[in-house]
């Protein structure tokens, strides 16, 4: 039974540990993508609100109440937040499903993993050690990691809590203060988490939330001179603009951007498992994920049978109310995203691709932004449908003859976030994975992640990494401390012809 949650009629900003009315006096509507009905309204933050949130974060950071807190105590607070989140997961699952349109079975599977990030980083900071470089002479050199300061986190609507927590927990674990700008489609759970964090001991000002729109609140936040790092998940063009903003203030930047994942299916793969994996890669989250299996590269010897089986699998996917446990695929996030998907389907047809299944709105779903799982064949690598990110439930089949051709096709895009390899040949699996130009490779699987495993891409898919020690380090800077323990006196300017040590 799905737990229903009563929402407030209006949500304000969360700054310095308090709900704060928006300076603009403007509010925007949040809608249920499965029905098009209004869910609630949320504050539309502007420049003054961003400045207030950043100042709150800066004051918290400089006070040392969090940034200089002992790591053991900091870890305990993170652990308490994670434990509280785990106790209240049903509420978060319901709200994520309601606002994103993703089936509640998907959201339950995803959100139940989230407390692991608190466990991981609480453990990491308890055990993370500095270094002792081999400094020559009578000197001791040791290094320590110190927090950057104030972090701007900008999150999307497709995995609101997952993507937030991948960034947030690492940033807080390192001792930073944060200002989060969530997507205007899915801001409610971010506001709820900020309140929980405060209740469980996170100091005021360490976690602030400014809701609003990217061109205003997002741009003001990323341009703010007091920001020390920007961490964004979004589109590639947005990422390029944000990286430019960060550069103007010499702020660090991490961007997890677009993708057009190739998934390679060799002739020796387990065909049933491969087709199941292809359907999962292509249609999970209604295709609205940066690692969607949008390019299925299939060996010619199994191409026709693979296509037939994938169509049968797509036909079996149950579309419906995301809050029903029987539903397997929900709507797209908005009318705009639905129209974009329809446009790309028409582009594919115009380019000469053959529609195997889908390509229309389902007649049985008269309301909401639903679209059938859609499969194309006769796709060439130069087609727009094979190169541009749709962010919808659309995938295309591309045949290949040789391993070398598969690798060349897989790498022949501007993106490089994630790819997959399906084969039972262990040598081939590793050899091919080594040649793929991307940040993540799955072998005989797709879309798996862990708080310890680095996540991020190359080329137009972004810079920087989420998760793991790599992410933690990137939320800090290294301080090198050099101690002179030489017992001999030293005077650089004494009257002597001796050549002294300078460096």
Catalytic residue, chosen from 96, 220, 256, 389, is 256
In angstroms, the CA 218 to CA 181 distance is 6
Rounded distance, CA 45 to CA 53, Å? 10
Q: Are 125 and 461 spatial neighbours (Cβ–Cβ below 8 Å)? A: no
- ∠ CA 381-306-316, rounded to 5°: 110
Active site residue 222: no
Buried b (16+ CB within 10 A) or exposed e, 313-348: bbeeeebbbbbbeebbbbbbbbeebbebbbebbeeb
- Whether the CB-CB separation of 298 and 400 falls below 8 Å is answered with yes
Q: Active site includes 401? A: no
Q: What is the Cα–Cα distance from 232 to 257, expressed in whole angstroms?
A: 8
CA distance 233 to 366: 32
> Of the residues 60, 269, 290, 471, which is catalytic?
290
Q: How many CA atoms lie within 13 A of 176 on its CB side?
A: 32
First to last CA, the chain: 70
Pairwise CA distance, residues 486 & 477, whole Å: 29
- Residue 34 DSSP symbol: T
- CB neighbourhood size of 304 (10 A): 13
DSSP 287: G
In Å, what is the CA distance from 212 to each residue of 7, 186, 221?
A: 19, 11, 11
Residue 288 DSSP code: -
Residues designated as active site: 256, 290
């Amino acid at each position: 039974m799905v737990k229903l949650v009563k929402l407030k009629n209006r949500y304000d900003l969360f700054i310095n540990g308090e709900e704060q009315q928006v300076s603009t006096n403007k509010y925007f509507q949040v809608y249920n993508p499965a029905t098009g009905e209004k869910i609630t309204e949320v504050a539309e933050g502007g420049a003054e609100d961003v400045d207030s949130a950043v100042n709150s974060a800066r004051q918290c950071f400089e006070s040392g109440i969090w940034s200089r807190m002992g790591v053991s105590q900091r870890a305990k607070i993170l652990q308490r937040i994670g434990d509280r989140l785990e106790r209240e997961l049903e509420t978060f699952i319901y709200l994520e499903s309601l606002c994103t349109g993703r089936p509640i079975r998907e959201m339950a599977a995803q959100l139940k993993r989230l407390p692991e990030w608190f466990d991981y980083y609480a453990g990491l900071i308890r055990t993370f050690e500095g270094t002792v470089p081999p400094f020559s002479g009578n000197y001791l050199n040791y290094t320590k990691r110190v927090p950057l300061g104030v972090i701007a986190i900008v999150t999307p609507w497709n995995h609101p809590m997952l993507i937030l927590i991948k960034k947030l927990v690492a940033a807080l674990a390192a001792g930073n203060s944060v200002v989060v700008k969530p997507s205007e489609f899915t801001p409610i759970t971010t506001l709820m988490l900020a309140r929980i964090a405060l209740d469980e001991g996170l100091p005021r000002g360490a976690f602030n939330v400014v809701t609003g729109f990217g061109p205003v609140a997002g741009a003001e936040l990323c341009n703010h001179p007091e920001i020390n790092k920007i961490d964004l998940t979004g589109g590639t063009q947005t990422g390029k603009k944000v990286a430019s903003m960060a550069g103007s203030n010499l702020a660090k930047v991490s961007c997890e951007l677009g993708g057009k994942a190739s998934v390679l299916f060799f002739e020796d793969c387990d065909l049933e498992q491969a087709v199941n994996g292809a359907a999962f890669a292509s249609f999970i989250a209604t295709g609205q994920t940066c690692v969607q299996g949008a390019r299925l590269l299939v060996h010619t010897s199994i191409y026709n049978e693979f296509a037939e089986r994938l169509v049968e699998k797509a036909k079996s996917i149950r579309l419906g109310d995301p809050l029903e446990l029987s539903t397997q695929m929900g709507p797209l996030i908005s009318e705009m995203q639905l129209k974009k998907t329809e446009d790309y389907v028409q582009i594919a047809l115009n380019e000469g691709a053959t529609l195997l299944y889908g390509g229309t709105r389902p007649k049985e779903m008269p309301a909401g932004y639903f679209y059938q799982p859609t499969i194309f064949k006769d796709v060439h690598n130069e087609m727009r449908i094979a190169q541009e990110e749709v962010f919808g439930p659309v995938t295309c089949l591309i045949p290949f003859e040789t391993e070398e051709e598969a690798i060349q096709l897989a790498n022949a895009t501007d993106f490089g976030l994630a790819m997959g390899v399906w084969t039972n040949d262990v040598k081939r699996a590793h050899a091919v994975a080594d040649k793929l130009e991307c940040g993540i490779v799955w072998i005989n699987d797709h879309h798996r992640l862990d708080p310890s495993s680095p996540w991020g891409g190359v080329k137009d898919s972004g810079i920087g990494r989420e998760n793991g020690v790599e992410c933690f380090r990137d939320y800090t800077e290294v301080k090198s401390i050099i101690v002179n323990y030489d017992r001999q006196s030293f005077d650089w300017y004494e009257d002597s012809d001796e050549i002294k040590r300078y460096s």
